[in-house]
Amino acid sequence: MSRAAKLTLAGTSLFAIGTIAFVHHAQQAEKAAMHQGVVRDVEQQRLKKERQLDFEMQKALEEEYKKIQSVHDGGTVLDKHR
């Protein structure tokens, strides 16, 4: 095999190995980024659910307090215990 053929073979082999390494690295980076996106989405869903539960609890407490407390309505006091 001639020197030119050996250099061509070595060059194309190195190029192929470099391409494979680059694609592998790019896929790993993309996979990591997608995983971070999934983690972020799960965390956002957890926070949304937690806030919704807090809101529902506050609404229930408000209703309970309205049942047992006097309500001021336009200057008149309406006592719900009478």
**Each residue's pLDDT tens digit, 3-56:** 999 999 999 999 999 999 999 999 999 999 999 999 999 999 999 999 999 999
Domain boundaries, the chain: 3-69
Phi, psi torsion values for 46, nearest 5 degrees: -65, -45
* Whole-prediction pTM: 0.53
Task: Provide the token pair at 59.
Answer: 């609404």
Of 80, 75, 78, nearest in space to 64 by CA: 80
CB 47 within 8 A of CB 54: no
Q: How far is Cα 79 from Cα 71, in angstroms, rounded to an integer?
A: 7
- Give me the count of residues in the chain: 82
